[in-house]
Amino acid sequence: MDIPVTQHLTPAAVEAEEAGTRLDRWLAARLPDLSRTRIKALIEDGRVSLAGTTISDASLRVKPGQRFAVEVPPDAPAEPEAQDIALNVVYEDEDLIVIDKPAGMVVHPAPGNPDETLVNALLAHCGESLAGIGGVRRPGIVHRIDKDTSGLLVAAKTDAAHRGLSAQFAAHSLERAYWALVWGTPSPRQGEIEGNIGRNPNDRKKMAVVKSGGKPALTRYRVLKSFAGGAVSLVECRLATGRTHQIRVHMTSIGHPLVGDSVYGRIRGSRRVVLPPEVREAVTGFPRQALHAYLLGFSHPTKGYEVRFESRMALDINQLIQILEVL
C-alpha cells in the first residue's frame, strides 16, 4: 500500500503582469489541481511561505519576482471509522451531544491522528445520525478544543442543530469559560487581552499575536487564586472569540504562559526558584497545558431555550492545585 506523502510545490515566480493579484487567486491559477478554497485553507494553516517566511494572509497582493512555496499535506481518510471508545456524556438529546473530553484525545481525524479521535467515538456512539454533518471528515463537530485541553465540547447530531450551533459560534454568542494554571500572577488581577491572532510568521506550527493580518481575538480573565507567593495562579478565562490556541497565546502575550504548555510555556528561571524542589518538579513536569473548559452555555439550536453545562476540574490539574495549596 502506498503511503501518502506531503507535496512541496514551487510555482514559477510572479510575472510583471500578475502584480497586484490576490495570493489565493494567483496560486489557484498556477496550481489548477487545487481549488481556491483548498488554497485558502492551506494559507490559513501556515502551509504557504515566501523566502522562508510563512504567509497567512490570502488577500496578500503578489509582486513581480516573488517565489512562493506551497506544502500540501496528504488528505485524512475520507470516511472516519466508528470506534468503540468510552465517552463521558454530560447531556444528549436527538439534536446534540455534550461531551466532557479527556486530555489527550484529538477531536477529529487528521494527518498524524487518523483514528481514536472524538469523531471516531461519536460515530460509534451516535450511529448514522451523525453521518455527513459538518463535512465528511468532521461529522457533527462545530468547534474544537486542543488535544491536551480537557473539558466540555458540543457536537451536532442533525443538520438543523449543526446550522444553529455554527451560527452561534460564528456570532460568538455562546458562553465559554476555562480554568487555567498560569505562571506568575497577572496584573491587574482582572482584565481583557486583545490582539489579532494568526500564524507565527517564523513557525507555522505556532500561533501568535500578530501586528498585521490574523483574526481579532478577545479574552477576559480574572485571577481566582495565587499560590507560592504568586509564583503560580489559577485564572478563569472567558472567550469572547474562539481562535486557535487563543487562551494559550493571549496569556503568553502578557507574560503569564500556562503551566505545562510545551509550545508557548517557556518561563524565566526566577519563577521556579521560589518553589520547594518537590513542588517545582510537580509543576514544571506537568505533562500538558493546565487548561480545562469548565463552562459551556448556548441557546438550544432547535428548541430555543438556554442550556448551560459545567464540568468539574480535571483530576490531574486538581491534584496539582492540592500540591500548591500546601505551600
The catalytic site residues sit at 146
Report d(CA 325, CA 319) in Å as an integer.
10
Here the contacts of 219-223 (C-beta below 8 Å, separation 24 or greater) are: 219/192, 219/193, 219/246, 219/247, 219/250, 219/251, 220/191, 220/192, 220/193, 221/186, 221/190, 221/191, 221/192, 221/193, 221/251, 222/189, 222/190, 222/191, 223/185, 223/186, 223/189, 223/190
Cell for 209? 499575536
Report d(CA 186, CA 234) in Å as an integer.
10
State the residue for C-alpha cell 496560486. Answer: 27
Report d(CA 69, CA 71) in Å as an integer.
7
What SS3 state is found at 245?
coil
